[in-house]
Structure 1
Amino acid sequence: MSSKESKAVLKEVREAIKGEKFKEAIEKCEALLKDEPKNYMAYLLLGAAYQSTNKTEAAKSLRKAVEFSPTAPTVALQGLANCAPLNELPKIYEQLVDLVPEKYGYYFEKLYAAGLNNRNIADECFNIFKRELKRNEQNEDRRKLVLKYLARIWVSFDFDVPTDDEILYKSGLEEILADSFIDQHLDANKRYLKLLYKQEDYANCFTHACEVTTKYPNDIYAYEWVCKVYCEAREVAKACLEKTDKPIEHYVETLLQINPKASLGLLIKAIQLFENQQYVSARDLLYRVQELQPKYRVALELLARTEMLIGVWGLALPLLKMIGNDNSVEYAMCLSHLSNNEKELQETIELLQKCDKNEEITATMARCYFKLGDKAKLREMNLSICQQAEFLMTPEAAINALQTSSDKDSFEVLFLLSKLYLQLTNYAAALNCMLKATRLQPHSSECFHYLGKIYYDTKDIVRARKCFEKCVNLNPLCESAVNNLSAIYQQLGEEELNEALLLNTLKYMKSEDSKRIHYKLGLHYFNVNKWDDAIQSFRTAIKLDVNCMNYWESLGDAYSERGSYNSAIRVFQKILEMNPTNIYAKLKIALIKSIIRMYPEAIVDFDELLSTHPDYLPGLKGAAEAHFGLANNLKQEHLYGRCKEHLQLAMNYLERTFLSLNDHNMFWLWRLTANVFVQTACMPSSLAYLEVSGQLAKLEEKTALLSRKDLFILASRFYTCAIKLKPNSFIWYEFALCSYYCALHFPDEAVSHLDMATKACKMAINEQSGRWQNWNLLGVINLHQAINKLPLAQHCFIQALNLERKSYTSWTNLGVLYLKLDEIKLANQAFQRAQQSSPIYGNAWIGQAMIAEAIGEEAEALDLFRHCQQFEYHPESSLGYAYWVCKVLTDEEKCKMPHYRHAIDSMFADIVSLDAINWHIKNEEKEATQAALSFQGFLNIRQKHYHLAERAYQQAVESTTAGEERDKLLINLGYLYLKINRPSEAINCFNRVTHASFKAIIGLALAFVRADQHQEAYSVYNSVLKSLTDENEDKAGMILVAMAAMVYGSQGEADTKTILYQCILLKNSPIQALYSACALGILHLDNQLTTTILTELKKYENIEVHCAHIAYLTAQHYAAINKTRKGLTYLLSRVHVFPHCAELRKILANYLLDHFSHASQYHVATSQIAMSSIELLHRNKSKKSDCIEDSKSLLIASRALRPINKIRSLKLIQHAIRLHPQNENAWRALQEVH
């Protein structure tokens, strides 16, 4: 395309752009550029066309235009500035500034705006301005403008200021400061102040800050700089303030109004207070400043100086170390007061020797030499009179020297004089001097410390408290003052203040120095029963000093008091690992085991302790208490022999204590000994005695054996001695209880003992009327039959219940009172309330059982007494249950009732009641009643304990006077002798019966028979028959059967038949007569008699009670007439009719064994039938299994199996022997098998 055509096309493009026909313009430009790819104007117009539609394409075209521009590309760059990305703008504007210098202000603004809008290109803009600054050093106006923009970017983006650029930076800030309308004006002021401070131009910094406060009165920054410069360059600041019209207080107050927590404002206030010698107030403010600015050196230095002036060297030392002044004179002064370490003191001396000598340094060095004990060095030093008096002279000489010194009214002299007078216990002079010294330096913590000590030693607790509080307020690290003040708080009972004091002290102490305060805090928590806090404090103290035994012991005590007994034991065991001879740890382990009722282990520990320290009083006391506690446990378990043994051992230890001490004014000793006496006296009669030293009992014998009465008398004396030492409700209560027990055991003297018990109980109530046990005991005393003041007893029980509504003991006693008054409903309600309060309190259930007896609810009474057996032993419940069980067992009708049957068979009432009555008689011993012994005898017979039954009946007979009851006992004993086949003793018993009854006479006759005295027996039976009336034909029949049996043995068959015919002819002849007649016929082969009798027995054949007997006689009849197969068939038919009858199966097994042992097909069957009889018997709940009968059945089974299975037969024989070792047949069978 020619040049002319190109120009025409470009003209058309311009016209299209003017007409906003951008698409047409773009197409023409692109067409032109295809022919002329380096056409500058085409690219320029193409970029212009794209400006409104596509900035990216526009930028591409304009870049080409800049590239192919034949001259300076001003227009292209101006266009590119409108569409280029931000990161390209700085270079574009830099080129435009050079190309269009007359518009430098416009492009500088554009360049600043570009940098301000994008942090990523701000650095580049900043560097462009710096280059422009160098290029325009001669053009002042342009330079100032560049400097202003440069500083604005500097301020806006907080660029670092290199040391080389500080002058440039300062000039730029000054340009901004000159124009107050710039947005960054306030920020520039802040940066300017910071720069001046950095350049240590404190005067200009302070002056400019004051000016800024005028321009920006509500902005805090300038006020802070005013205060900061004042704090760090006080002299400069004061000089500047003289040129202004506002004092420093104006700036401080304004700063604190804007920000009440402004640390610099508070610091200036502290400085002013310090300058006015108000050190305490200054320190308070400085601590606030430290909280706000923990590492501000100026504040820390001033705080350290303040603490040193107050005398708190322990707080000043870490402050000096924190700010790096650990090589300063101040640091050495602090060390000289605090340290006793030889190395540190030597280092302090070396440090001070490098310093110029003055009075303070000399005193500090002297203090170090004094602590090191280097008197020679002290004498070499040039010491003042005061220093000589402190470090070299005796107190008396020092006082004389100081009193004659020229500066005797100075603080140092007065303070030292007071300390010297205090050493000589001249409290008045010490107080006078210390008060004068305190007036001179009221901020000195040491003055108040010594004032407190003087007042404390002179028993002026009020003033001592105030002085120590002031001292601790000034110097919280003064451990002596803290200890004394803590002791005062504890003495006054102000535990909360004591806790606050100790906690406040710990805030200031280093952890390694705080162990004693932690320990003291632990003791405080221990005293106020805060066990967890006490444990934590003791553990902290132990961490700081693991070898201190006191800390470990206190920790163990805290665990023990909290109830963490295992942890306490482990702590004390740890102590013993560190120190095996620690007696306290051994004692505490034993005591803790006593507390948790590990009495046997505790006793072992006490014995070990006392073996090495036989006269150790706490050990003797602990051992006695452990034995006494174990005795109480054993008594509850009714192990009276062992209980008595431990009571004697407890008495032995208490006796050793009494005899080894000259001073017996120990309450616990008298009380514990009296308790041992009472517990022993309440033992069963055979054990109610103690062996005691005659000296202790005030008897002539070396060792006295004290009876029950002696024990009660001595217990009363000991309780009286304990009351004299420490009267309180508990000891009066125990004394009253002792007197009450005495009344129970000695009824003849009951009135006098109960009177004493009443008086003692009233004294207990006077001491503590709010203790329900006291009222309850007084009620029990008045309920006793010797006093029988029932209204008063009722009042006492109600008082007890008003104090403790859930006192099941008082409810039960109230129920007994109502029961005594025959108020059944009220008694029931009282016992019910007792049961609700404690469902396991047996006495309440006994009360309900007695109510059931009273209203005739026999089944309920039995159940209630049985329930009582689940609780601990009680004589009333054991006797009551045995009575009701015996009553049921002797009543055939009741035994058939399901309720009673269940109680006997399923709940083993007879066994449980026997166990209960055994306990009863064991406890009561000689006081056991004949009824209890009778119950024991009856229940033992039921369990086939014949020897025990015999002994029980014999004791009952011996304890009973002649009369009806004694006759019953003799009859029972006689029948027992008959059961165990001792007829001679039976005859003796029956002959001793004074009022003969039918049962006694029959028993006597039976005894004669058993003793083969048939004539006497016949005579007795005959006399009974004559005395019987027609109404007693059943008894006559039984007597005739017995006579027949006796006659058969002595006179033969004929007379026996006569008597049996006579019996059978009776109207209500017993079935036993038929059995006897049938057996007689079988034995003597009298078939007619046998057949006749069996015909009579047919009507009883299907009655289960008689079926086995009838089946046996019938089978034996068939066997006698050689019809064994028919007998077997008959027995099998009866087994089918009564398959559950064990006795019938046993008869069948015996029959098979006797008559069919030759038939091998019956051997297994015979064995199985015998075994099934045992199983059926065990299943039958109405009958008890009998080991003797089971042994016989096993022997039958064994004999049946012997021909076919000897091993099984042998096992059955062995089983039979185990069940009944006296079974002679089983032993013979065992021999035969072997």
Structure 2
Amino acid sequence: AIKKAIELEPTDWRHWNVLGVIACSKLDHKPSLAQHCFIKSIQCEAKNVIAWTNLGTLYFNKGDIQLAHEAFRVAQSVDPTYLACWIGQALIAEAVGHEEAMDLFRHTTELGFHPESALGYGQWVLSVLGDSHKRDSEYFHYCIHQMAAVPSASDALTRYTGRIRTNPVAYNMQGLLFEHQNLLQSSVVALQKALFLLEQNDPGKTINDVRLNLARVFCKQGKYEDSVRQFELCDLGSSVEYMCIYGLALFHNNKLMDSFKVYQHVLELLGDNPRVSQVYTALGMVAYKLGDMEGAKTQLFEGFQTDQPSPKGLLALCALGLIQHDLTLASAVFEELSKQEDKEKYIKDILLLQTYKFIIEGDTVKAEANLKKEVQEYPSNSSLWSLLAVLILTQDQGRGAAVVEYASSALSLVGSGARQMESILQILGQLMAGHHHRHDKDKNALKTAQKVFHSNPGCKSTLISLACAVHAEAVIKRALTGEEGLFTVENGYLDISLKYGKLNDDLENWCLQQLIVNHIEERNISSVQASLTLLLNKNKLSPEIEEFVKSITMFLSPEMNETALSDTPHKLQILIICAWL
């Protein structure tokens, strides 16, 4: 039919082009005829981007790279927006190992969608991400960060898998790109689809790689049982990286002895590798969880004595020394940490441990002086300002204004997405300093707490901080005007926190105590007794809570007189210090 069309209209380039495409097919593979047809099509219409691109593709498949490049170049000059000729140039660059291959594939995804460009760009992005030698280079910064490579490649592969649902390689790459964006559930879905397709067809060696990827993502998700199950189906071989992740999954799945054995095997595989210190750190972690303090110290000390001790291992050894009040060991570790090249990366952890050491020694003045010295050296590090605020908050509750000042300094340095801790510190400082609405109409504890809660309404810490601020305002308003409506508002916040907050034991106990105080302020004795019963039903009460319960019981006693009341410890004051989760 095409030949008859050419006889009738020999000058129509489309007929020649179709015949050339047919000659390229597997059913009628005639490369010479195809070349002749594409050239005739170009002769009929010189500005023929389709024929030039098809001719370039033919040359590329035959291995004639130079002629293919020339044909694609002409096609680009005829129509710079034609996607297929750019894909051809990208494939040529990839074949000859040219560094512009990734940029060319990226450009094809910007021009439009094509299956080949989506796969090509995704593969290039993942290859660059997987090359650890390039991560600190300008090339990496440009290709990955500046060009937003990961989301772009991810979007391209999402369109690909939306049309072609039978390619396990595409799903695997999509899962890896989702993982890099921390979209872990989407990553799991994509990797499970890849695994399903491989199980239905010939799995080969690829299925092991997909299982390892899925196991790693499960571990990141915190689904350690699923992670262990996938690892047990894999051939780990001598992969140190995956063995370490397997050991971590076993650790979190409470299979501590199995985890210890895995890390010991990794130790044997590494030999004299500089990374051996990190494995000693992991072994120390497992030993500590097993309750073997001396074993943990031994493992961490072994890492300490290697040529390149792990900073995290040093921090763990120092913390263990402080727990056991071995200040000589802690001092030796601090000296080693001061020699680390990346000391600034761990400065907050180092200073936190140093602060604990000074507190153990009973010298909070020196702890504050040490923090202030480091803040002057690293004034742009917001975490140090926050740490200074926390120290004063916990050790000197009469200096609320200083807490506000340091928390405000930290807030000025952090980005908009990481302000929660600093904001709560500011609220607590304002409560301690007595910054209520009469002190400052705009900058007071309640206004700050409301802003923080509105910025993150799903966070239990912000809700409880708001309850603190409401309580303070409620007491002040009742004293000034007799209004008691804010106590009801506070009850609502505390009830929500207790019912939906999934609080830890300390914070749940705090909420119950605050609820009891609030009911007493309202003179609602029946509710006090109900909340007190809930508190007493807790399995274990700290001495402080027992003293609180004793005070409330005495308060509720009908035999209580004024003398007994005056002797009761003042446990009904405004509770403003909230334990963080």
- What CA distance in whole angstroms lies between the structure 1 residues aligned with 2:423 and 2:138? 32
Alpha-carbon distance, 1:1101 to partner: 7.0
Deviation at 1:1205, TM superposition (A): 5.8
Residues 1101, 868 of structure 1: alpha-carbon distance in 2 compared, 3 angstrom cutoff: closer
Query: Of 329, 338, 349, which residue of structure 2 is paired with 1:1109?
Result: 349
Task: Evaluate the alpha carbon distance shift between residue 786 and residue 1197 of structure 1 in structure 2; reply closer, same or farther with a 3 A threshold.
Answer: farther
Residue 906 of structure 1 deviates from its aligned partner by 2.7
Q: Is the 8 A contact 1:801 1:810 kept in 2?
A: yes
- What is the CA-CA distance between 1:883 and the residue it aligns to? 1.4
In 1, Cα distance between equivalents of 2:449 and 2:106: 40
Cα 1:1097–1:763, aligned 2, differ >3 Å: closer, same or farther?
same
TM superposition shift of 1:1011: 0.8
SS in 2 for 1:873: coil
Distance 2:206 2:356 in 1: 47
User: Match of 1:942?
Assistant: 180
Amino acid at match of 1:818: Y
Q: What is the match of residue 1192 of structure 1? A: 421
Q: Are 2:435 and 1:1204 aligned?
A: yes
1: CA distance, partners of 2:110 / 2:383: 37
Structure 2 match to 1:1225 = 461
Instruction: Please tell me whether residue 1019 in structure 1 is matched to residue 261 in structure 2.
Output: yes
The equivalent position to 2:77 in structure 1, one of 822, 836, 849, is 836
Contact 1:1064 1:1073 in 2 (8 A): yes
Deviation at 1:1141, TM superposition (A): 3.5
1:1220 is displaced (CA, Å) by 5.2
- In structure 1, the partner of 2:150 is 910
- The 2-side partners of 1:1099 and 1:1014 are apart by 33
Contact 2:72 2:89 in 1 (8 A): yes
Structure 1 residues 580-624: Cα deviation after superposition (integer angstroms, max 9, x where no partner): xxxxxxxxxxxxxxxxxxxxxxxxxxxxxxxxxxxxxxxxxxxxx
Task: Tell whether 2:106 aligns with 1:850.
Answer: no
Over 3 Å counting, the alpha-carbon distance change for 1:1102 and 1:1120 in structure 2 is farther
Query: In the alignment, residue 1204 of structure 1 is paired with which amino acid?
Result: H
User: CA 1:1075–1:765 in 2, change beyond 3 Å: closer, same or farther?
Assistant: same
Which residue does the alignment assign to 1:1119? Answer: 359
**Structure 2 residue corresponding to 1:1000, chosen from 218, 242, 251:** 242
**Residue 301 (structure 2) aligns with:** 1061
Q: Which amino acid aligns with 2:286?
A: M
Structure 2: distance between partners of 1:829 and 1:1130: 68
1:957 to 195, 202, 209: 195
Give the residue type in structure 2 aligned to 1:876.
E
Pairing 1:574-973 to 2, within 5 Å after superposition: 760-858=1-99, 860-925=100-165, 927-928=166-167, 930-960=168-198, 961-973=202-214
Structure 1 pair 1015–1200 and aligned structure 2 pair: CA distance change class (3 A) = same
CA–CA separation in structure 2 for the residues paired with 1:1101 and 1:1156? 34
- Structure 2 CA distance, aligned partners of 1:778 and 1:978? 54
Q: Deviations over 1:1157-1189 (max 9, x none)?
A: 5313313322222213313xx7xxxxxxxx4x4
* In structure 2, distance between residues paired with 1:871 and 1:1166: 50
Whole-Å separation in 1 of the counterparts to 2:180 and 2:456: 18
Question: Residue 1012 of structure 1 aligns to a residue in which SS?
Answer: coil
Match of 2:375 in 1: 1135
Residue identity matched to 2:196: E
Aligned in 2, Cα 1:1219/1:915: closer, same or farther, shift over 3 Å? farther
Q: Verify the 8 A CA contact 2:382 2:409 in the aligned structure 1.
A: no
The 1-side partners of 2:270 and 2:117 are apart by: 44
1: CA distance between counterparts of 2:454 and 2:143? 30
Q: How far apart are 1:894 and its partner, in Å?
A: 1.7
CA contact (8 A) 2:390 2:403 kept: no
Query: Deviation per CA, 1:446-466, whole angstroms, max 9, x where unpaired?
Result: xxxxxxxxxxxxxxxxxxxxx
Instruction: Work out whether residues 1043 and 1059 of structure 1, in 8 Å CA contact, stay in contact via their aligned partners in 2.
Output: yes
Q: CA separation in 2, counterparts of 1:910 and 1:1111? A: 36
Question: Letter of the aligned partner of 1:1199 in structure 2?
Answer: L
Q: 1:1216 offset after TM fit, Å?
A: 4.9
The residue identity in structure 1 corresponding to 2:366 is K
How many residue pairs match? The answer is 459
- Deviation (angstroms), 1:829: 1.7
Structure 1 pair 1141–1170 and aligned structure 2 pair: CA distance change class (3 A): closer
Q: Distance in 2 between matches of 1:1058 and 1:1221?
A: 45
Amino acid at match of 1:1090: A
In 2, distance between residues paired with 1:910 and 1:824?
30
Task: Find the residue that maps to 1:1028 and give its secondary structure.
Answer: helix
Change (3 A) 1:1195 1:848: farther
Structure 2: which 5+ runs fail to align?
A: 471-581
Going from structure 1 to structure 2, the CA distance change for 1:823 and 1:1120 (only over 3 Å counts) comes to: farther
Q: Which amino acid aligns with 2:182?
A: K
Q: Would the alpha carbon gap of residues 1227 and 981 (structure 1) be closer, same or farther in structure 2, given more than 3 Å must change?
A: same
Shift of residue 1140, structure 1, vs aligned partner: 3.6
Structure 1 CA distance, aligned partners of 2:397 and 2:142? 42
Gaps of 5+ in 1: 1-759, 1179-1186
What is the alpha-carbon distance in structure 1 between the residues aligned to residue 454 and residue 85 of structure 2?
45
- Measured in 2, the distance between the counterparts of 1:819 and 1:965 equals 28
C-alpha separation in 2, matches of 1:1108 and 1:912: 35
Which residues of 2 match residues 506-545 of structure 1 at below 5 A?
none
> 3-state SS of the aligned residue for 1:1099?
coil
Identity of counterpart residues, as a percentage? 29
Q: 1:908 to 1:1154 in 2, by over 3 A?
A: farther
Q: CA deviation at 1:900?
A: 2.4
Matched-pair contact (CA < 8 Å) for 2:240–2:269: no
Letter in structure 2 aligned against 1:1231? A
1:804-857 CA distance string (max 9 Å, x none): 111111111111112212222222221111111111111111111112111212
1:1200 partner letter: G
Contact 1:933–1:953 (8 Å) recurs in 2: yes
Report SS of the residue matched to 1:1133.
helix
Q: For residues 323-342 of structure 1, what are the structure 2 equivalents within 5 Å?
A: none
Q: Is the 8 A contact 2:52 2:72 kept in 1?
A: yes
In the alignment, residue 834 of structure 1 is paired with which amino acid? A
Q: Contact 2:72–2:85 (CA<8 Å) still a contact in 1?
A: yes
Shift of 1:868: 1.6
CA distance in 2, matches of 1:1083, 1:1111: 16
The letter of the residue matching 2:420 is S
- Check the 8 A contact 2:134/2:140 in 1, yes or no: yes
Q: Distance in 1 between matches of 2:21 and 2:453?
A: 58
Query: Is the 2:216–2:227 contact (alpha carbons within 8 Å) kept by the matching residues of 1?
Result: yes
Cα offset for 1:1115? 2.8
Q: 2:217 aligns with which of 957, 960, 976?
A: 976
Q: CA RMSD in A?
A: 2.5
Whether the aligned pair in 2 keeps the contact of 1:1028 and 1:1036 (CA below 8 Å) is no
The C-alpha deviation readout for 1:220-274, integer Å capped at 9, x for no partner, is xxxxxxxxxxxxxxxxxxxxxxxxxxxxxxxxxxxxxxxxxxxxxxxxxxxxxxx
3-state secondary structure, aligned to 2:147: coil
Deviation at 1:1099, TM superposition (A): 0.8
Aligned equivalents of 2:27, 2:377: Cα separation in 1 = 68
Cα separation, partners in 2 of 1:1131 and 1:772, compared to 1, 3 Å: farther
Change (3 A) 1:872 1:1054: same
- Contact 1:1048 1:1055 (8 Å CA) reproduced: yes
C-alpha contact (below 8 Å) 1:1149/1:1169 kept by paired residues: no
1:453-496 deviations in Å (ceiling 9; x for gaps): xxxxxxxxxxxxxxxxxxxxxxxxxxxxxxxxxxxxxxxxxxxx
For the residues of structure 2 that align with 1:1201 and 1:821, how far apart are their CA atoms? 76
Q: Aligned AA for 1:1014?
A: L
